[in-house]
Amino acid sequence: MNKKFQIACLLALALSLRLYHLHSPIIGVHSWRQADTAAMARNFHENGYRFLYPQIDWGGDSEGYVETEFPAYPFAVALFYGIFGVSEAYGRLLSVIWSLIAIYFLYRLVRKQVNENVAIWSAVFFSILPLNVYYSRTFMPESALVMSSILGVYFFSNWLSTEKAGYFALSALFVALACLLKITALVLGLPLLYLAWLKFGWRFAGHKSLWLYGLLVLAPVFLWYYHAHQLFLQYGLTFRIWEYGTDKWGNWQLLLTPGFWDKIIFRTLAERFLTWAGFPIFLVGLFLRRQTRGEKLFDYWLAALVIFLLIVAKGNYVHEYYQLPFMIPASVFMGKVYGRHFSLAALKGAKSLVLAVCLMGILLLAAHRYHSYMKKEDPQSSDTYQLASEVKRSTLDHARIIAVDLGNPTLLYLCHRKGWQAYPNELDEQFLRERIERGAQFVVGNHRDFESETDRSKLRSLLSDPQQVLFDDGRSFIVRLSE
């Protein structure tokens, strides 16, 4: 079969998988990250497209300007809103488009560094692995991050081969964009340095062009994150990018716990990302003999991501989507196994038969995982979605609310209100009085989040005055705050 036709069919399959439930509301798996991103997009659209001032919904009575990564993705979505109107489908569609670009250029990169068969199979696995599919249609910048990483390395490889300035500029642009979207993408420096070493040997350190490349990448990264930190210093709102040892990164003691490695290696990478049927294929590919020096690029890429895992231990432990970039080299290692050892014409052979069984297992387990994730995007089964609908019916558009949401911004986003986030244990008289003085008018939340007896006592106190209770169905509540 013609290789161009094969990759076209693969892209069509990848597109069809990712278009499923494109109009889903922001609920379900990791709605937390999606809600914040979607809020920034909507706020750009509603408040004047001020790119340097991304806004979230949980800023209370402030403007909501927040220290965050480079907001290129929500801003791009906001531009679609300006033309077509607000719909989460545009954000999902952009993610889908970027994932298709990533698949195609991963194919081209692997074809250049390894061979055609391995490239096709690498693209196949990258297209069908379940969490790759799921997160490449979510309202998050992860799809753009993966695309930028692949394009950055691909164009860098082309520049080294041709010395054309256009490839140099494109590589620097996309690597810089990847680092702006997630500063941890700086680990891409390792595979890039390996490619430079293949071209120049140890003389690479003296090449002025590489120093210029580093400057083009690092300068915008430094400027943005410096600006973002000034927003935090002025407005006090942040996604905790720099909180060493207390939030996402620098938690070295976590690396010494068996539970960390069990969750990362087995419960996340092996079970969810690669599926149990794909994990042994990845391990086999990891130990296959390297046939070209260019093939080792993906060894260095994997090593770079292991460094990222060690540095950002807690972020990886809490958020499975942090491991999404691992699927780039992982798909290649799986692709090497099938590209070299699988043939439909030789299914009677033991090796091809085992690989065929594993492939069927991957497809079945991937379908099951994807279906289980998509079920959680059903609005009818979401208490948060139902409560948000009631808040919109029961309160004015500009009402300020206290959302008892365990720090999850989904409720605020869905009900299209600004306000404060709170945990049940915070709802004492002083906390409520301070928020009332700053304009809070309602407290809203779900009963299930009040777990301890102390928390349930506070909920009973909130619901004790029938005249102030706008809504309470035993699952969710809306309470008007007294002046």
- Is there a single domain that holds both residue 80 and residue 41? yes
Domain of 393, in residue numbers: 382-480
pLDDT-flagged residues of the chain (< 70): 1, 344-348, 483
What's the pLDDT at 204?
87
- Is there a single domain that holds both residue 342 and residue 239? yes
Mean pLDDT of the chain: 95
Sheet holding 400-404, edge to edge: 418-422, 400-404, 440-446, 476-480, 469-472
Please write the tens of the pLDDT for every residue from 11-63: 999 999 999 989 999 999 999 999 999 999 999 999 999 999 999 999 999 99
What's the pLDDT at 482?
80
What's the pLDDT at 483?
67
- Is there a single domain that holds both residue 371 and residue 441? no
Tokens of 424: 């049940």
- Is there a single domain that holds both residue 410 and residue 371? no
- How many CA atoms within 13 Å lie on the side-chain side of 285? 30
Q: Which of 287, 280, 283 is nearest to 358 (CA)?
A: 280
- State whether the Cα torsion 425-429-431-436 is positive or negative: positive
- Is there a single domain that holds both residue 326 and residue 386? no
pTM: 0.95
- Is there a single domain that holds both residue 413 and residue 458? yes
The Cα–Cα gap between 77 and 317 comes to: 29
What's the pLDDT at 347?
63
- Is there a single domain that holds both residue 358 and residue 420? no
- Is there a single domain that holds both residue 339 and residue 427? no
What's the pLDDT at 227?
98
- Is there a single domain that holds both residue 314 and residue 402? no
| 8 Å CB contact between 64 and 237 | yes
Of 375, 399, 433, which one is at a domain's C-terminal end?
375
Q: How far is CA 38 from the centre of its chain?
A: 13
- Is there a single domain that holds both residue 435 and residue 346? no
The Cα–Cα gap between 135 and 133 comes to: 6
Of 341, 375, 409, which one is at a domain's C-terminal end?
375
- Structural domains in the chain (count): 2
Task: Name residue 82's amino acid.
Answer: G
Of 350, 375, 400, which one is at a domain's C-terminal end?
375
Please write the tens of the pLDDT for every residue from 388-439: 999 999 999 999 999 999 999 999 999 999 999 999 999 999 999 999 999 9
- Is there a single domain that holds both residue 204 and residue 71? yes
- Is there a single domain that holds both residue 58 and residue 24? yes
Q: What does each C-alpha distance from 458 to 48, 53, 446 come to in angstroms?
A: 40, 37, 13
What's the pLDDT at 247?
80
